[in-house]
Structure 1
Amino acid sequence: MLIGVYGLTDKRPVIYALMKLLQATGDVALFSNNRHYRRLLGPGESQGHMANMMIAVSDASPDEIFEEVGYTADDFDHVIFDLQDTIPDNLSLAIYVKSYESGDDEQAFLEVLGTYHTIKLTYDSKRDKGAINVNPVSLVWKSVEQIEAYRILRPIPSKTLNQGLASLMAPVLKITTKNAYTLLTRRWGK
């Protein structure tokens, strides 16, 4: 499954929750140009593995990244693209992570993207109808920092995010919503 995660905000809480769910159902690759993900790897590395997850931080396009890392999309059960302005071919699922109202450029990109699901980080306390509305409290960001510091995929402490992702991903993964939620909220190594 190819998943594109877009938005002009920091998407790490959503990406880490997705990684947590997907790594329990197969091999995962994360491709991004966000340098924060290098913290999941060894010192000075821009690509490597964390459990059954391949992580590559690069400015390469979605087409070029597989050549750069020496793998193909078929080598993974799930591929997550965390990119700003490039749409890979044949996306299975597109997720738009939003914080504040989108500008004209972002709106134009979303129109090109087509069908997508919205996760709203409610910094402005405004909820979007039809979106997974997540309150980005300090515990969420503390968890992100702990994931990167200890290289352990801890659960993201947001019931709303976990319930929303479980509902969104369960049918695609062919598991129950309850099982998806359990995978999202269990401790690492369980």
Structure 2
Amino acid sequence: MIPRLLVVTDRTQASHPLPEVVADAVAAGARAVLLRDKDLPTADRTALARDLRAVLDPVGGLLVWGGAAGAPDGLPVHLSAADPFPAVRPPLLGRSCHSADEVARAAAEGCDWGSLSPYAPTASKPGYGPALGPAGLAALVRGAPPVLALGGVRPGDVADCLAAGAHGIAVMGPAMRAPAVVADYCAALAAASSG
């Protein structure tokens, strides 16, 4: 299952404890969560992953481990652009991409998806870019694995992302700060997919 909407965690932006934020995002329609928070010790991340799975499992949701290190067996993994390819391929594998070379690498590795960022200027990573916008996104999705547009994507941008060739979107800051906004992303994805 390649997600159409991937909620990316960042507990430093979370409006309340991360398991509660994820529960609110799931209540708003999220079904896939990337546990990023790579600064945590592996034992703490593993415990947090158990908490998040307890939220996601009842709705058939997907938990994705961020990074190559320490991934529990059987969990999908999302690699950074710099992470080495894992010795044992996880059941699902994504990779962060920011350029044509990184997209080509993800495709050559057989990644199941790639996130492509930044779509627009973002409050989570100010000054990170340049922003791709619809034209830049469209230029990079050719030959790529299914792409999730990431970075500054607002609900109003979803239709443009899909029209540019993105499979879906990933969202971090807005979902961490106000998880109810996930419902707006879900509605935008449904409207753009049916139109």
TM-score normalized with structure 2 length: 0.38
TM-score normalized with structure 1 length: 0.39
